[in-house]
Amino acid sequence: MHSLGKINRDIYKCITDDIITDEVIITDNQMQHILNRHPETYKEVINYLTDIIRDPDFIIEDKNDNTGLIVKKLKLE
């Protein structure tokens, strides 16, 4: 498990009101899933996950309970 930092729970209430903690973690399995599904962007995005989660441009409620899609426009060099 890897800590990605903390979120502002208020901005994530659009997904659910039942957020128990503000700590965000990612498991090795989740990282492998990202690598397998999005290999072309994995290396570019993996180092920005903390910034994306802390300051998203958009948060979209997903069809699955307590799940959201987080969108952030990045300026990559």
pLDDT of residue 65: 87
Record the pTM: 0.76
pLDDT of residue 35: 92
CB 68 within 8 A of CB 22: no
pLDDT of residue 70: 92
pLDDT of residue 59: 95
- Residues near 16 by Cβ (< 8 Å), separated by ≥ 6? 65, 66
The rounded distance, in Å, linking the Cα atoms of 66 and 77 is 34
| Tokens matching residue 12 | 């994530």
- pLDDT tens by residue, the chain, 77 residues: 999 999 999 999 999 888 999 999 999 999 999 899 989 888 888 888 899 999 999 999 889 888 889 999 988 76
